[in-house]
Structure 1
């Protein structure tokens, strides 16, 4: 059953990549970039892009990538061993049929957008409970000193800013200024007070580092406050 094992093992690796990509997404990365970085780490090639800097500068992302690299090395050895066994022993019709059946079933499931969204959402909800991943949904772009910096904030479902205008949110009263909004393919510089903030918006903001962190997680603990204030 080496053929079935090999096909199943490859599928498991793809599932691991998807889980890792969603974990990277939770830390603030774009999902498409997260998938590329996760796949690059697993196969240990092409991991020299400028986006990789966003990974090495982030503790949680580094841990995810290191796990993927270890899995990649072990996975390569496992697949080579399985291939050698396949070459040494003739394949039976049952083995080929089983492998093809697994592939067809997987392709049919992955081609369903609704199925993928449901699976991705389920994985994201479970991973979001991990505080080490959630703590840095605020991704610092530029830290000007120990207290102030420019950062990216991604608006999640539970964020009170969603659905409010910039003016009504009174975000400026907290000493935070929205410099730009990235929404899908659109990028708005110096948004006006009447701009309505939407779910998934990526805000480029300036202000106190902890205030920016509190913007995403109002229930930050005293320990987290001390960490972010350095």
Structure 2
């Protein structure tokens, strides 16, 4: 009986994980990211990774996350209580089977393409009605197409951009699908006259554009940044 309970409980947990993976996927989150974050939230471990910002910065995902976190805490209490009831021979297998059947039924319903389309439409409608642009995560604002990219470029002593302006370093920049959003210099963010501002060692440039163009135009500085960060055991460069 104990083994049966543990098997059914695992089936319920796996079904719940897949249910929330589907729901997060319908909000635009990648499957692999969704599954890791769902497990992290359910178990209360690992949710402090950088990818958690994709959930915390999205209003619909935050609501799903709240339900999942509460379920994780509740399910732990249930298994402890159920084991105690097993020991006292007070729990009926029928009750567990009903719970498992309900969760599996929900999972199978969510796998239906028609249901997925309806839910995706409902999520998008809620976003349009209740969410301001400033409330959305960066990925949902800027990275709507696969070819879009945001690059946080750190400038080092040997970078080719040092002591140059963007206008000098990137010829015909007005014709390229590449935009410098701001230059961060210490605690100051420079937003005016960006293309005529001389770049210093230690600056950070936030650049938006087509990935192929950004990587082609700035490949030397990106390589220098990656090498410096690797040698100093810093996190890899931020290319979204």
The alignment's TM-score, normalised by the length of structure 1, stands at 0.46
Bigger Rg, structure 1 or 2? 2
